[in-house]
Chain A
């Protein structure tokens, strides 16, 4: 340990000789601000569809606001409008700093952000009108898919050109994950949105599930981990436990994740041997997950007290715990015996929300809380409000996850007893949906506090210049 510390000091002194780079961060700001706006707007939709489970006739005569139109809007809005856009914004913040150079083209970046907003706004219109391709996560019409590909190429070119001109030879693990995200997403997205159109039936379903699974596994996971690997070290001011271990996690993820798509159709009309392969590789996912999580926990060794008054770190470390849990559930669901109970039940939304909200959105929120004051050269508007947003999202999230797991498990047992009429299993779940609705309100309050805190930080930046505190 003493050796490492002195090493760090020496390296800092050496790096101090180089000329400082001034980052414009315009692109990062654009992406972050628009993504937070979608987080808020889509949050309203999320609460509405939770309410529809409690009052099924709510807004029932308006066809544009029926459940089947709002659900894809909620999913696409949260995934692409909020989370992916926030992740891209944070990438535009991290990459130039990790490479020690300016972003390759700030103009191209701003154009990417503008195009992204065009895509999201068009998606809202299409989905409300019922223009839907009928494939999960790939609901958007072909024209918008093409725009997404263009935007992704613009994003990828900007990042890759920046990395190619980097000042340091060896790349930090966040750069790895971001490069992986850009490359894998390209192929995963093409499979899920273009290749599927040339297939039917089981073949199409297999491609669709490969895409859906890897939208989470090879888009949100690697970019989310890139964010965690960057901001956990930055906000705790502790170097990572092990660079080598992070590499093992990266390569294991690269190899293992893509095999598992068919676990979404266990017991279904798809070849048994393909189901078995998916199960075997799903269990192997424990390797990259535990490698990553161990690295984070070991980094925090002796530093947990920092969580007391460090808002980004709170989000980050609870995100890591949720990541561990969600990635333990995943392999367990893929076992045939467990799958026979939980598959297609309300357990699954509980699991999905823990991954996307509990883990990856928490990482993105933490990154935003860390980044916004720094790019605007100010302090966070209110740490107390930041804490409140954390606890609201945490309590709402836990209420949501836990009740849906319990309810879903119960539902699965009931389904496996054919003597119980189906409608009785629906009625039995109503208390669960009521709790889910109120948890959703808590989560929405958390989103509002987060959005307000960030907005107030940006608007009041001039009145509160950066403090000289650590």
Chain B
């Protein structure tokens, strides 16, 4: 029991944190390249405001 007390788990957590940060950075750069972070990608939030039933609230 004693040997699993702290250290290996701490290193494992560091490793996971690094993996997570690396992944986040990778996807951020790719999305930037593919033009995801442009104004166009915000379209869904405007469309959902429009009520197709033509009901009272405009």
Contacts and interface: CB of A to CB of B under 8 A. Distances in A.
Do A and B touch directly, given a CB cutoff of 8 Å in the complex? Answer: yes
Contact of B44 (A4, A170, A470): A170
A467 B47 contact: no
A374 B48 contact: no
A255 B10 CA distance: 20
A168 B44 contact: yes
Contact of B17 (A7, A98, A174, A280): A280
Nearest to A8: B46
A244 B4 contact: no
Contacts of A8: 46, 49
Interface stretch (A55-63, A235-243, A359-367): A235-243
A271 B1 CA distance: 8
B13 A237 contact: no
B45 A15 contact: no
Contacts of A171: 44
Interface in A258-282: 271-273, 276-277, 280
Contacts of B17: 280
A244 B53 contact: no
A26 interface: no
Given A233-B45, A244-B37, A276-B13, A374 B50 contact: no
Interface string A275-301: 011001000100000000000000000
A239 B37 contact: no
A234 interface: yes
A21 interface: yes
A12 interface: yes
Interface of A is mostly: helix
Name the residue in B5, B6, B17, B20 with the highest tally of chain A Cβ atoms < 10 Å from its Cβ: B20
A470 B58 contact: yes
Nearest to B23: A255
Nearest to A175: B44
A233 B52 CA distance: 15
B4 A23 contact: no
Contact of B50 (A12, A22, A173): A12
A319 B44 CA distance: 24
Contacts of B44: 168, 170-173, 243
Max count, chain B CB within 10 A of own CB: residue among A16, A168, A239, A242: A239
Interface in A205-241: 230, 233-234, 237, 239-240
Given A21-B53, A22-B53, A243-B42, A277 B9 contact: yes
Interface in B20-58: 20, 36-37, 41-58
B56 A466 contact: yes
Contact of B46 (A7, A173, A272, A467): A7
Contacts of A271: 4
Given A23-B53, A97-B51, A469-B56, A11 B46 contact: yes
A18 interface: yes
A242 B46 CA distance: 10
B49 A239 contact: yes
Nearest to B56: A468
A470 B56 contact: yes
Given A11-B43, A172-B48, A242-B42, 17 more contacts: A7-B46, A20-B53, A21-B53, A97-B48, A168-B44, A170-B41, A170-B43, A173-B45, A174-B48, A240-B45, A242-B45, A243-B42, A276-B6, A277-B9, A277-B16, A469-B56, A470-B57
Interface of B: 1, 4-6, 8-10, 12-13, 16-17, 20, 36-37, 41-58
The 5 closest A-B pairs by CB, nearest first: A273-B9, A276-B9, A240-B45, A172-B44, A280-B13
22 contacts: A8-B46, A8-B49, A20-B53, A170-B43, A170-B44, A172-B44, A233-B48, A237-B49, A237-B57, A240-B45, A242-B45, A243-B41, A243-B42, A243-B44, A244-B37, A244-B42, A273-B4, A276-B9, A276-B12, A276-B13, A284-B20, A467-B56
Interface of A: 4, 7-8, 11-12, 15-16, 18, 20-23, 97-98, 100, 168, 170-174, 230, 233-234, 237, 239-240, 242-244, 255, 271-273, 276-277, 280, 284, 374, 466-470
